[in-house]
Structure formats: structure tokens, C-alpha cells
Amino acid sequence: MSRLAGFELVKMNGLGNEIAILDLRGTAIEASPAEARAIDAAFHFDQLMVLHDPRSAGTGAFMRILNKDGSESAACGNGTRCVAWWLTQQTPQAELILETDAGRLACTRTGEARFAVDMGRPRFAWNEIPLAQDIADPMADTRRIRLSARPPGALQDASAVNMGNPHAIFFVTEIAEVDLATLGPLLEHDPLFPERANISIAEILARDHLRVKVWERGAGLTKACGSAACASLVAAARLGLAERSARISLPGGDLSITWRDDDRVMMEGPVEFEFAARLEPSLFETAPA
């Protein structure tokens, strides 16, 4: 039987980005990819935020992030806001720091169910995104890269950014004209991305307002993606298409993104609690222990 049986799963969403939280603090238990897939089959999430004991003093928890296909992600902005809300329900504090493989994330309550998260500094070098060494030019300007899997004439060159995860952003004149459900899987697995990539299409509505749609690696089309919203704003600002602070409209709602002068990217937006449920042993019958 899975050691996850009996634990509570908290289901939330950030702008419709479906988030599940599994608190394993105080234990040495690790959730396996197969167990994550079993939980998704029952409760349907985009990301599973698994909480472990803090690794550093002064932090609330270490977060391991699993996509619905069981693969790992280093960052999830909407999920981080959900975790921050849930943890601060247990204490009167309005600020906390969470740890991930991508670094520390400072979270601040800005409203009843609204949080701001310091998503860190964007990275642009080919080996930081990363891009495949045998394909990428180490001197290439990552503001504009050409994917080998790009269907001819369908999209212009992408802008590549690492915002905790690798992102490729295509700027288009009309999002509705792009079939991201079809192109997303192709572009996510482009040979240029050894760790795959999140694929976004972005439309500039004004210098302080972007419309964005996202195909997340390991999750597919999502209603919102916080790290992709950050990456899209940064990419647009690098290309001179937008200011360093903007409203990012995603299918699930709006996020406020600011790329500060100290190079850190701030994301602010709402979260919503849905329900909590116990993980029944039968859920894991087909998942290896």
C-alpha cells in the first residue's frame, strides 16, 4: 500500500490553474511519479505541490513540484501563491519564505486571498535556459531563437527565458489564430530544449497589458501559469514591446507582473480554496509503492 494513503490533499486553484497540495512535513516520505499520476486521475490537477521539512532556517517548507504526468518542475507561481495562502491560514503571519529547487520564494499577503511572490531573477544565457549544446550557439541572442520543430510560417521566432523553468514565448498578432493545443506538444519537445519547455503565445494589447496562453510542459494547456506570465513580461520588455510592469491576461484571469530595477520579478494574483480530501488506499492500487 502507498505510504501516501490517509494523508490529506488540499485542492485549490490560482486563476483556474488547478493546484493540489500534499503536506508531508514531519515525514521522510517522497511522492513518486506514479503516485502523482494516481492522484491526478482522482482529483485532476495541473501541479502537485508536495511540502517537505524546511532545508534552511527561517523558511516555511521545501516544495517539490510534480506535474500531472509525474515529471518534476522547479517553479510554479500559481502553486506557490496557493501554498502561501494555505500555510498562512495556520498562523497569523502575512509573510513567509518557501524553498524550491529553483531557489527561495518570498511570499507576501496583499489581500484576503491574494499574494505577491518574488519569483527571482530571469536567466537568459543559452546554458541557463537551457538550450541543447549541440544545437544552440553560445553567443546567440536568446531574445530571438528559431525552433527546428516550428511549422513553416506558423509562428515567428521565439524568445527564450528561464523563470525557474525553461520558457519559449512567441509574440503573435492574434492569439485566437494559433492552435496551441496542436502546436504545444510539438514545440515543448523541440530538440533545442533538453529539459523540454513551457510554450507561450503572447499578444501585446498595450505596453502595460499582454494577453497570454500557455502550454505547460508535463501538464498541457492550462488556464493560467504564473512563471509563464513572468517570462512573457520579461521577454516583451527585452524586445522593447512592453514596459517592465504590466497586467497579464490569461484564460483564467489576470496577474500583475513587475520586473523590478533590481532584476527580480514580482508576481501578484488571487487564489481560491476548493476542498480537502483524504487519499484513500484504493486510489494507489495500480501505483507502485
Active site positions, annotated: 76, 225
CA distance 206 to 212: 13
User: Strand 220-222 relative to strand 209-216: parallel, antiparallel, unpaired?
Assistant: antiparallel
CB within 8 Å of 37: residues ≥ 6 apart: 68, 69, 70, 287
Query: Cell numbers at residue 202, please?
Result: 503572447
How would DSSP label each residue in the chain? --TTTT-EEEEEEETTEEEEEEE-TTS-----HHHHHHHHHHH--SEEEEEE--SSTT-SEEEEEEETTS-EES--HHHHHHHHHHHHTSSS-SEEEEEETTEEEEEEEEETTEEEEE----B-STTTTT--TTTS-TT--TTSB--TTPPTTTS--BEEEESSSEEEEEE-S-GGG--HHHHHHHHHT-TT-TT--EEEEEEEEETTEEEEEEEETTTEEES--HHHHHHHHHHHHHTTSS-SEEEEEETTEEEEEEE-TTS-EEEEEE-EEEEEEE--GGGGTTS--
Query: Cell numbers at residue 177, please?
Result: 489564430
Query: Cell numbers at residue 204, please?
Result: 501585446
